[in-house]
């Protein structure tokens, strides 16, 4: 076998002189090509993949060292001899540290060149023998190990090595596909269940179909060897479910490829799809079509996501729980689900969004000292545990719905009084919130205009006026305790102190400060 040589030098006489100074063939080398500058040398290196490149260290434009550094980014095993003059000797010695095999001083001496060629030839021979030994070992490896090395080898650019692995596998089929499985069971029995699962997979796929079972980190891998491309349907799902027994699992199916050298692409896609397993039910086989269907965004614009100045979902959930309305809770949870899908949240983001929303609602519900508040505190912990431990998004949603149903039942279910009585109670409890008729109408399932008329007929007050009066009555209590006007305004739900001042004067007939001074003075006089 002749080793290929590329000569890169900007001086024609050097290029031609090197061709004739020694008998290359007798030393086991063949000059395949030459290049007159670094850029051309880099291009020809990529085309012919020489075993040895002899390169001038100083050339206009791309220097020899530049060329070597560019090659080293993709090829860590290439061999180089550099040419340098005496003035560049120190520079050349530094280049050796960068991984070149040696250097030659100009003008090139025949004996020195022969010594370097023979040394490099010996290096190349040792590397060839090492590769042959490794390939012989690999040929005797189990097929699972060959697949794993083909997928996870350190140097995916080593085409010769990959071809040897493919040959060692000895497979011939028009299509290949990677399937990845994530299986999980009870903590005490999971190890045994996994062993049984792998054995059943081996029987169903390896022994019957000639597929290959392998390990992919914490996942189980299957290289499907098929005569057609239709392996991701119900048949595969049923085979996996039968092998799993009672063990829960998710699977992902990479695209079919025509050659074993391309299975890395199928593996990468299967790995990407399996990251979405949280959103699929137990026993699902996730393929690109299922993934796209889950995260379809055609209707995102139709989703009524919360605006910056509108109530947050946590607030709306609190309102729904406070009025003991199952329907209102269901509506808010549906909004939360739509938001998670429309924003293509990953598993961690979904858990975080649910935790934040539920904590906001349950925190407000737990803030009082009543038995209902104590009950809400207990359920707060249960809900967060459910969110963090759910094995799938479907299980998370179902458990949260169930918990809230239980909570409303323990609160006593929906209030048997009229909707209007519930509204009045709600306003008296939540006067400090940003209360709007439209929001309550949504919670109770009414048209806001119609509900406003009912409210006016029942109370004799328009909704906003009723809220203002409740707030002003509470403000009078706080002012009598000696709180400052701006503190009272904020506590009763007015972010603007001037607006509070005008409302207070309208309903009380005096300013908040005057009322405070008079009421606080009377209290102090009575205490003395």
Is the pLDDT at 293 greater than 70, yes or no?
Answer: yes
What would the pLDDT profile of 96-146 be if each residue is shown by its tens digit? 655 678 888 888 999 999 999 999 999 999 888 877 766 665 554 688 888
Q: Is there a contact between 32 and 50 (Cβ–Cβ < 8 Å)?
A: yes
Burial class (CB in 10 A: 0-12, 13-18, 19+), 187: exposed
In angstroms, the CA 390 to CA 329 distance is 20
Does 483 fall in a domain? yes
Residue 412: C-alpha distances to residues 64, 332, 408, 416 (Å): 84, 20, 6, 10
Please report the pLDDT score of residue 299 as a whole number: 39
Please report the pLDDT score of residue 344 as a whole number: 74
Q: Helix, strand or coil for residue 79? A: strand
Verify that 123 and 231 share a domain, yes or no: no
Q: What are phi and psi of 237, to 5 degrees?
A: -60, -45
Domain count, the chain: 4
Is the pLDDT at 399 greater than 60, yes or no?
Answer: yes
Pairing label, strands 175-184, 102-105: unpaired
* Chain CA centroid to CA 268, Å: 14
Q: Is there a contact between 106 and 128 (Cβ–Cβ < 8 Å)?
A: no
Verify that 435 and 357 share a domain, yes or no: no
Does 99 fall in a domain? yes
Q: Helix, strand or coil for residue 142? A: coil
Residues 50-78 have a mean pLDDT of 89
Range from 174-178, 371-375, 467-471, 491-495 carrying the lowest mean pLDDT: 371-375
Verify that 379 and 465 share a domain, yes or no: no
Does 419 fall in a domain? no
Residue at a domain's end among 132, 152, 173? 132
Residue at a domain's end among 77, 100, 132? 132
3-state secondary structure 316-345: HHHHHHHCCCHHHHHHHHHHHHHHHHHCCC
Burial class (CB in 10 A: 0-12, 13-18, 19+), 191: exposed
Does 137 fall in a domain? no
Q: Which residues contact 12 (CB under 8 A, 6 or more apart)?
A: 36
Q: Is there a contact between 489 and 497 (Cβ–Cβ < 8 Å)?
A: yes
What residue ranges in 3-138 does DSSP mark as E strands?
3-8, 29-35, 52-56, 79-84, 102-105
Range of the domain at 14: 3-132
Residues 269-286 have a mean pLDDT of 89
In angstroms, the CA 122 to CA 117 distance is 9
Verify that 410 and 431 share a domain, yes or no: no
Please report the pLDDT score of residue 392 as a whole number: 85
Does 138 fall in a domain? no
Is the pLDDT at 400 greater than 90, yes or no?
Answer: yes
Taking Cα atoms as reference points, which of 207, 257, 199, 256 lies closest to residue 233? 256
What would the pLDDT profile of 15-54 be if each residue is shown by its tens digit? 999 999 999 999 999 999 999 999 999 999 999 999 999 9
Verify that 466 and 522 share a domain, yes or no: yes
Please report the pLDDT score of residue 187 as a whole number: 47
Does 258 fall in a domain? yes
Verify that 36 and 94 share a domain, yes or no: yes
Is the pLDDT at 218 greater than 80, yes or no?
Answer: yes
DSSP H/E element including 276: none
Q: Which residues contact 279 (CB under 8 A, 6 or more apart)?
A: 294, 347, 392, 393
Statement: the pTM of the whole predicted model exceeds 0.75:
no
Pairing label, strands 175-184, 248-253: antiparallel
DSSP H/E element including 215: strand 212-216
Residue at a domain's end among 269, 293, 317? 293
Pairing label, strands 219-226, 175-184: antiparallel
8-state DSSP, 233: S
In angstroms, the CA 387 to CA 395 distance is 9
In angstroms, the CA 361 to CA 317 distance is 6
Q: Is there a contact between 177 and 256 (Cβ–Cβ < 8 Å)?
A: yes
- The length of the chain, given as a count of residues: 528
Does 431 fall in a domain? yes
Confidence of residue 365 (pLDDT cuts 50, 70, 90): confident
Would you give the end-to-end CA distance of the chain in angstroms?
115
């Amino acid at each position: 076998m002749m080793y290929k040589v590329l000569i890169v030098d900007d001086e024609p006489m050097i290029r031609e002189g090197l061709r004739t100074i020694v008998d290359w063939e007798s030393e086991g080398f063949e000059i395949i090509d030459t290049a007159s500058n670094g850029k051309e040398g880099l291009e020809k290196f990529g085309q012919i993949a020489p075993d040895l490149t002899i390169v001038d260290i100083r050339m206009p434009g791309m220097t020899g060292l530049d060329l070597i550094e560019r090659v080293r980014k993709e090829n860590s095993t290439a061999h180089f001899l550099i040419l340098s003059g005496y003035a560049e000797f120190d520079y050349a010695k530094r280049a050796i540290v960068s991984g070149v095999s040696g250097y030659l001083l100009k003008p090139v001496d025949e004996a020195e060149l022969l010594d370097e060629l023979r040394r490099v030839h010996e290096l190349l021979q040792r590397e060839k023998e090492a590769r042959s030994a490794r390939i012989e070992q690999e040929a005797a490896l189990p097929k699972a190990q060959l697949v794993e090395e083909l997928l996870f080898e350190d140097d995916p650019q080593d085409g010769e090595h990959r071809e040897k692995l493919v040959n060692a596998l000895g497979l011939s089929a028009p299509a290949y596909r990677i399937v990845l499985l994530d299986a999980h069971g009870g903590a005490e029995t999971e190890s045994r269940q996994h062993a049984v699962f792998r054995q059943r997979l081996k029987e169903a796929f390896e022994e019957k179909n000639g597929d290959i079972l392998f390990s992919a980190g914490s996942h189980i891998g299957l290289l499907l060897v098929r005569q057609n491309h239709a392996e991701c349907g119900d048949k595969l799902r049923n085979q996996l479910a039968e092998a799993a027994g009672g063990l829960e699992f998710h699977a992902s199916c990479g695209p079919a490829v025509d050659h074993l050298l391309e299975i890395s692409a199928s593996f990468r896609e299967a790995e990407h799809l399996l990251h979405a397993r949280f959103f699929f039910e137990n026993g699902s086989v996730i393929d690109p079509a299922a993934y796209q269907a889950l995260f379809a965004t055609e209707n995102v614009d139709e989703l009524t996501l919360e605006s910056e100045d509108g109530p947050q979902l946590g607030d709306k959930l609190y309102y729904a729980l406070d009025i003991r309305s199952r329907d209102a809770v269901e509506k808010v949870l549906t909004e939360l689900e739509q938001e998670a899908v429309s924003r293509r949240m990953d598993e961690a983001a979904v858990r975080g969004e649910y935790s934040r929303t539920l904590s906001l609602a349950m925190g407000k519900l737990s803030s009082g000292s009543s038995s209902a508040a104590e009950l809400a505190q207990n359920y707060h912990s249960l809900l967060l545990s459910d969110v963090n431990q759910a094995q799938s998004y479907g299980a998370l949603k179902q458990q949260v719905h169930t918990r809230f149903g239980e909570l409303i039942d323990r609160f006593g279910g929906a209030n048997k009084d009229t909707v209007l009585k519930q509204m009045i109670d709600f306003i008296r409890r939540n006067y400090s919130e940003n209360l709007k008729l439209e929001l309550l109408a949504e919670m109770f399932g009414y048209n806001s205009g119609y509900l406003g008329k009912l409210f006016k007929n029942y109370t004799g007050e328009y909704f906003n006026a009723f809220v203002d009066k409740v707030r002003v009555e509470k403000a009078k209590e706080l002012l009598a305790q000696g709180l400052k006007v701006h503190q009272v305004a904020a506590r009763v739900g007015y972010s603007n102190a001037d607006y509070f001042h005008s409302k207070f004067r309208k309903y009380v007939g005096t300013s908040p400060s005057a009322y405070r001074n008079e009421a606080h003075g009377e209290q102090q006089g009575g205490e003395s």
